[in-house]
Amino acid sequence: MSDQMDKMEGMQEIGTEQTAKEKRAAKKKERAAKKASGTGKKHRKAWIAAIVTVAVIGVGLYVKASSSKVLPSVLCQAAAVGDVEETLSASGKVGSAETQTYYAPVGTIVQALNVKEGDAVHKGEVLVTFDTEDLELTKKKADLDAEASEGSYQSALQQSNENQNKYSDASIGLDELKQMKEDQEQYVQGLKYELEDDKNAKRKDLNEWDKKLMQEQNYQNRKLSEQQAYGGDTESISEVIDNINSQRADVANQLSMIDSDEKILQKQRLIDAEQKKLEDMQEEIQKRESKKDSSENGILNGYDKKSKEASVESARLNADQAASDLEKAQEGIIADFDGIISGIKTAAGSRVEKGSELFTIQSSSAVQVTVELSKYDLEKVKEGQSATVT
């Protein structure tokens, strides 16, 4: 019996050695198969699992044989290549995959709140209505302001265009008229110089004639004195002297009435006529310059025009905003999808500010499960993998 046990132990040792050889052969075969077919880590894992299984069976058999000293009966299976699957199990929270928080589109009073916390609503259902009275008044005032601003701008623009036309009319030919005035001034001044020269020439001629008459008068007076001294004829000399005195008196009269000379008068009338033209030119220039200055002040410059256009645009935007606010208030709040009401922040009759939170709708059809995984499991999952939710 002892000999049989020794033989059994020897056979078990041989079996163990053969198992190790089989392991090494299996590994070589596995590497050769991988190189030939390009199988992945999953096949390698399967081979390793199979070898480990065989090794465990062998060790178990050895231990059992050693302890019981009885030849064991084992089930064997040939090693094979296959896929290894791994399943992760985790718990999570079920929630809505689509939520939307609604805010007040305008600042006004909530007229009616047609839902309460937890209500199920359907897409297109009117959930909130607003009081639009104040918004209607605001829109009306904004429309009037925009109309007034537009009217003021158009009036200013029309007035500016009229002033521009006046300015153009006053400016056309103004420089030429000023030049004509300067020429007329020189012409009139030349006539005046000519008139003065004519008067001086007339005076000179009369004075020279009077000087000759005076010389003749002195001669005749001396001659008269001689005739009287010698008892000569004085009557004819006295007549000559009287004639000379008469001529000198006429010269003196002409000197005093030189401005009444016909030629002088004709020249003076010409000067007066030309002076009247000059005055008319000066008056026309003054009128045009006054018209030009007054109209220029009424012409919109680029900055004024942009400022008025900006005021009009601002009024229009206010009117558009008021119209938009009224339209939004008239539409109320409408559900965008089927869902459950949560987080109500307002009530009927309360005033809300634009942008304030009203409530939230969580979709009742689109749901999702949020699962937390450890960092060790992250590499085992990929986007697009399917999951079974229970």
Read off the pLDDT of residues 86-114 as tens digits, 9 standing for 90 and up.
788 888 887 777 899 999 999 999 999 99
Q: 116: Cβ–Cβ under 8 A, 6 or more apart, which residues? A: 341, 344
pLDDT at position 174, please?
Answer: 92
At residue 253, the 3 state secondary structure works out as helix
Give the pLDDT confidence score for residue 266 in this predicted structure: 92
- Residue 381 has a pLDDT of 86
For the chain, which ranges sit under pLDDT 50? 1-18, 38-68
Under a CB-based contact definition with an 8 Å cutoff, are residues 389 and 369 in contact? Answer: yes
Residue pair 198/263 in contact (Cβ under 8 Å)? The answer is yes
Here the tokens at position 308 are 């008025």
Model confidence over 315-370: pLDDT tens digits? Answer: 999 999 999 999 999 999 999 999 999 999 999 999 999 999 999 999 877 778 88
Is residue 348 within 8 Å of 110, Cβ to Cβ? yes
CB burial of residue 142 (10 Å; 0-12, 13-18, 19+): buried
Amino acid 8: pLDDT:
40
pLDDT at site 52: 39
Residue of 119, 92, 107, 26 lying closest to 372 (CA atoms): 92
What percent of the chain has pLDDT above 90?
A: 58
120, β-bridge pairs = 340
User: Judging by DSSP bridges, how do beta strands 126-130 and 333-334 pair with one another?
Assistant: antiparallel
